[in-house]
Each structure stands twice: as C-alpha cells, then as structure tokens.
Chains A and B, each alone.
Chain A
Amino acid sequence: MKKITKCMLGALMTGAMLTPVHAEEATTSIQYSKTSEYTLSIDSSVTVSSTTETEQAIKVSNVNTKSNEKVQIAIKSGVGSNGKVTLTRDDASGVTTEVTASLDKNGAGIGANEVIAEFEDQSTTATKGGKLYYSKIPADAAAGSYTGTIVYVGSVVARN
C-alpha cells in the first residue's frame, strides 16, 4: 500500500513538472488621428484701380487635409448678384460705385456661394481657383475715397 501511494504521488508530481512553460501575448493597436486644418491668408486690403483690372490672391497657410478632404473658400458676404461689389464713398454722402469680382481675367462676375479657391493635402497651391479679379472702377465715378468689404469663409469638405 505504501508503495502504491508513493507511485501515485510520484506520478502526480511528474505531471505537475511537465506542465508547459506559460507564455502569453497581447496586442495593442496604436492609433492617431490628425484632423484637417488650415489658416486663411487673404490680404486684409486691396486697392482697386480706375485704369486696370486688379488681382487678389486667395491663399491659405498651414494647410493640412486628410486624403479624402479639401479646403474650400467661398464668399460669405460683400458680393452681390453678378459678382458686383459695392464701394461706398467715405464722406457719408451715400455715393457708391461698384466693381465686378470674377475668377478669371476680364471674366464674368462670380455667382452666389461660388467656390473661389480649393486646397488639399499639404499644398498651398490652389487646386482650383485661387485668384479674384476686380474690374476697373467706372470712369464716371465721383471723386473720393471708397471702401467696401468682402467676407470670405473657408470650410473642409469631402473630395469628390
């Protein structure tokens, strides 16, 4: 009986010692998401001319978009129908004049909500548009200093 007991214990101990070494793995997914970003960089003032068309660059800086997104810049306010921009004489007389803003040289006035520039990836070179052209001031404009304001708006949209 004693021998049988010893054999059984021995078998149990051998079984325990033969248990395979435990090695375990775990996997961690490392993730990072960088949202699209940009900074509008448009001159705060432009002086139009009575003799020549005036060009204005519509630019961005620090542009960085996702591969499926792009930055679109449009006119929020300040441009009326047919691309007309009203300039008001500074003397409070109420005298106005107007110029036409277009996307092309000597082109037609821009339409309402028309996209005037697009940028994507990390490039500050416009993939579409990027310039506004202001027509000459009408020759019959009354003398004086005139100002008007155009407000631009940028947004990140999906690429087609």
Chain B
Amino acid sequence: MKKLATGIVSAGLLTMMILPIQANDTAVSYSQSSSYVLSIPDTIELNSASSKSLAIGVQNVNTTPEQKVQVKASGLTNGKVTLTRASKGDTIQVTVSKTDGGSGISDTDVLAEFQDQSTTAVSGGTIWFAAVGDVPAGTYSGTITFTGSYANR
C-alpha cells in the first residue's frame, strides 16, 4: 500500500513537472519627444541696390512622425522691418518676403518647416530683404524675432 501510494505521488509530481511553464509577457515602451534648435544668423547686413537673403535653419532636429517644426517671425509691420538710424532716430522700412521681390510676410506666415531628422526644410527656409534704396546716410539697425513651434503634420 505504501509503495502504491509512493508510486501515485511520484506520478503526480512527474505530471506536474512536465506541465509547460506559463508565458509571462512584458511590454517595453519608450517615448522620445520632438526637439530642435533654431539656427538663424544673428545679424544680417542689408544692401542698398539688391535684395539680401537670410537662411532659416535648424540643428539637431528630431520630430515624431506626427509632428513638424514651424518657424515664424515677429517684429514686422505690414510685412516690413523698421530700421532706426543711429544718432538721429529717424526710421526706414524694408520689405521682408518669402520670395525674392515678393510681398511682405505677416506674423502668421510659416517661413520654414522641418520634420523627422532632416535639417533640409520641407517648405520655405529662406526669407528675403528688399534693397534699401536711397536713404539718408547713417547706420541703421532693427530686429526680427523668430519663433519655432511644433505643429501636427
């Protein structure tokens, strides 16, 4: 009887050991948010007789597949940047456009778009300053502020 019982217990243990191990899945996740750094020259010297271009660039751009980077400008009035003459305070205005000789841009115009890991603009990427023309002699300066932000594609 004892032997029989031992045999039954052994068979039971053996059966249990032969049972397959149950699968235990683990979800591994990671989320990398979009990032970029604006790369735009901090100064540009305009010309009296011909237009001048300014490259709107980014560095280290890395966006999710759903996002893109948009760059816009502020500091313009009716598409023109105001330059003030040193010492005198009088001003001149120069048209800023998305194409050479084009119409002035507004604060809502997207000047450049970048996406994925490419620093090549998918749209825009260059703005143009019109020729200054004949103005009173002197040194003029003004400022444009560029802002980058994410938008859905």
Q: Tell me whether B145 is interfacial, beta carbon within 8 Å.
A: yes
Write the chain B residue with the least CB distance to A62: B134
List residues of chain A with CB within 8 A of the CB of B85: 67
Write the chain B residue with the least CB distance to A2: B24
List residues of chain B with CB within 8 A of the CB of A5: 26
List residues of chain A with CB within 8 A of the CB of B48: 32, 34
Q: Tell me whether B144 is interfacial, beta carbon within 8 Å.
A: yes
Interchain CB contact under 8 A, A22 and B150: yes
A9 to chain B, nearest CB (A): 6
Interface residues on A, range: 20 to 34
Q: Count the B residues whose beta carbon is within 8 Å of the partner chain — how many? A: 52
Q: Which of B8-16, B102-110, B135-143 contacts A (4 or more CB under 8 A)?
A: B135-143
Knowing A6-B27, A9-B29, A23-B149 touch, does A30 contact B137 (C-beta < 8 A)? no
Q: Tell me whether A44 is interfacial, beta carbon within 8 Å.
A: no
Interchain CB contact under 8 A, B137 and A31: no
CA–CA, A34 and B137, complex, Å: 5
Q: Tell me whether A37 is interfacial, beta carbon within 8 Å.
A: yes
Knowing A31-B45, A64-B137 touch, does A25 contact B94 (C-beta < 8 A)? no
List residues of chain B with CB within 8 A of the CB of A22: 33-36, 148, 150
A19 to chain B, nearest CB (A): 5
CA–CA, A128 and B100, complex, Å: 44
CA–CA, A68 and B85, complex, Å: 12
Q: Which of A10-18, A110-118, A144-152 contacts B (4 or more CB under 8 A)?
A: A10-18
- Produce 1/0 per residue, A29-42, CB < 8 A to B: 11111111100000
CA–CA, A121 and B87, complex, Å: 13
Write the chain A residue with the least CB distance to B57: A26
Nearest 7 CB-CB pairings of A with B: A16-B31, A26-B38, A32-B46, A32-B140, A30-B142, A34-B137, A24-B148
A–B complex contacts, Cβ < 8 Å, 7 sampled: A22-B148, A28-B54, A31-B43, A35-B137, A66-B87, A67-B88, A121-B136
| A residues neighboring B (CB under 8 Å) | 2, 5-6, 9, 12-13, 16-17, 19, 21-37, 64-69, 121-122
